[in-house]
Structure 1
Amino acid sequence: MKNIAIFASGNGSNFQALVDAVKVGTLQANIALLVCDRPGAYVIERAEAEHIPVFLFNPKQYQHKAAYETIILAKLVEMNIEFIALAGYMRLIGPTILKHYEGKIVNIHPSLLPAFPGLDAIGQSLQAGVKQTGVTIHYVDEGMDTGKIIVQQAVPISVDETRESLQVKIQAVEHQLYPATLQKLLNFSSSFSTRTQLEAK
């Protein structure tokens, strides 16, 4: 099984969904590390409860992104991390990590990108008055939710929808879609790696 790291900044509901999927075998991976940029974030408690190592850092203690990403990258390499899943990580990934993990970093976003990128996508969709939003899983590049889309699933918005009710609906989709999609990506990655090794012989 591949070692994966999850980057998260907040409550960690998608982190927990991935952990639970590993427990029941629908996600065949080893969640080897949580990377978190916010001391006190609830996701840290979730990781500790699951005995998953945590790499916690405070970006304010570094002069620039490359400084803390160099340290993160060293930790990822040390722990043989092969794939990265962002789950509510509120920072753009910089070139230091992107270059090393090209094509091996994915993110989940609560809208049908390219609509409503960035912060508070749920609030953005409600303010816009659209009839549906959804969930997008995409590869990560240097932009704000601009990477190649892998899969999307629509979520209808009711006339009397509230932020809280819409969040519940979106998270229900996220918690099923993210583990399933990651499993497909890991299967493809393993298959591709095997083919490459065979062709090299």
Structure 2
Amino acid sequence: MLETAAALISPPLPGTWPRFESPLRLGVMASGNGSNLEAIARSIQRDELHAEIRVVIYNNPGAGVAERAARLGLPAVLLNHRHYPSREALDSDIVHRLQAHGVDWVIMAGWMRCVTTVLIDAFAGQILNIHPSLLPSFPGLRAVEQALAAGVRVAGCTVHQVELAVDSGPVIMQAAVSVEPTDTAATLQARIQVQEHRIYPAAIALAAELT
């Protein structure tokens, strides 16, 4: 039975996370505030996740993630999707930037654009995403609102490998969050986000260990 707010599903304790021969080279893609970027960066600083963030790519001018990246001392590149003739053209530029920074793992942290085979094929099996639901339930936009509308008693978040279909791909890790009778989309989203910050760094380590 779930305890009050949340239950974490099988995350390894930080002291047991794998140490790789060399740090994982991450490229983070984000469209908004970038709180998951900061959670990953702080985990690296605490020497929990054996990785380094080589570059942050964002697509919305003025997005909060740019300020977070600057505060964390991380290079950030704006690739405004509105300036590209197609999704493939945007993804081609993303691939070029990621490869130029020596990235081997692509971490989507609130990237609000559908990706194409251009990106997926370039980093096959090494692209991760986090989604605010217990997939396969409630894929796509407004997942928290979907959960509340469905009247579920448990919501949560999922880290998964990225495939072409939206919010598909093998699940790496999930965290469950109980839905309270008084919850709004905002209050439930806030509790889910706490769990996102807990599991995403651990899921990156686990995915790399399994690859």
TM-score, shorter chain, exceeding 0.5: yes
- Give yes or no for the alignment of 1:111 onto 2:133: yes
2:172–2:207 Cα contact (<8 Å) kept: no
After TM superposition, give the deviation of residue 185 of structure 1 in Å: 2.0
TM-score by length of 1: 0.90
Q: Distance in 2 between matches of 1:13 and 1:77?
A: 24
> How far apart, CA to CA, are the structure 2 residues paired with 1:151 and 1:76?
25
Match of 2:94 in 1: 72
CA distance in 2, matches of 1:187, 1:26: 14
Q: Partner of 1:171 in structure 2? A: 193
Q: Aligned equivalents of 1:94 and 1:22: distance in 2?
A: 29
Distance 2:34 2:128 in 1: 16
User: Do residues 28 (structure 1) and 47 (structure 2) align?
Assistant: no
Which of 118, 134, 138 matches 2:156?
A: 134
> What letter matches 1:145 in structure 2?
D
Residue 183 of structure 1: aligned partner: 205
The answer to whether residue 6 in structure 2 is matched with residue 6 in structure 1 is: no
What is the deviation of 1:101?
A: 0.3
Q: Please tell me whether the aligned partners of residues 26 and 183 of structure 1 are also in contact (alpha carbons under 8 angstroms).
A: no
SS at match of 1:138: strand
Secondary structure of 2:119 counterpart:
helix
Indicate the structure whose relative CO is greater, using CA pairs within 8 Å and at least 6 residues apart: 2
Residues of 2 paired with 1:50 and 1:172: CA distance?
Answer: 20
Following the alignment from structure 2 to structure 1, what is the Cα–Cα distance between the partners of residues 99 and 164?
Answer: 21
- Paired with 2:199 and 2:93, the residues of 1 have a C-alpha distance of 31
Give 1:54's match in structure 2, choosing from 71, 76, 92. Answer: 76
The structural deviation recorded for 1:186 is: 2.5
* Aligned-partner residue type, residue 45 of structure 1: E
Cα contact 1:86–1:108 (8 A) shared by 2: yes
Residues paired across the two proteins, number: 189
Among all aligned residue pairs of Structure 1 and Structure 2, give the percentage whose two residues are the same amino acid.
Answer: 37
The one-character-per-residue Cα deviations of 1:46-79 (angstroms, maximum 9, x if unpaired) are: 0011111112111111111111211111111111
Gaps in structure 2 of 5+ consecutive residues: 1-22
CA RMSD, Structure 1 to Structure 2 (Å)? 1.1
Match among 179, 193, 198 for residue 157 of structure 1: 179
- The structure carrying a bigger helix percent of its residues is 1
Asked if 1 retains the 8 angstrom alpha-carbon contact of 2:57 and 2:76, the reply is: yes
**Structure 1 Cα separation of the partners of residues 90 and 193 of structure 2:** 30
Contact 2:172 2:206 (C-alpha < 8 Å) held by counterparts:
no
| TM norm structure 2 | 0.86
Of 68, 80, 90, which aligns to 2:112? 90
Q: Give CA-to-partner distance per residue, 1:153-179, whole Å, 9 cap, x none.
A: 211101111222211210111111111
- Name the residue aligned to 1:120: 142
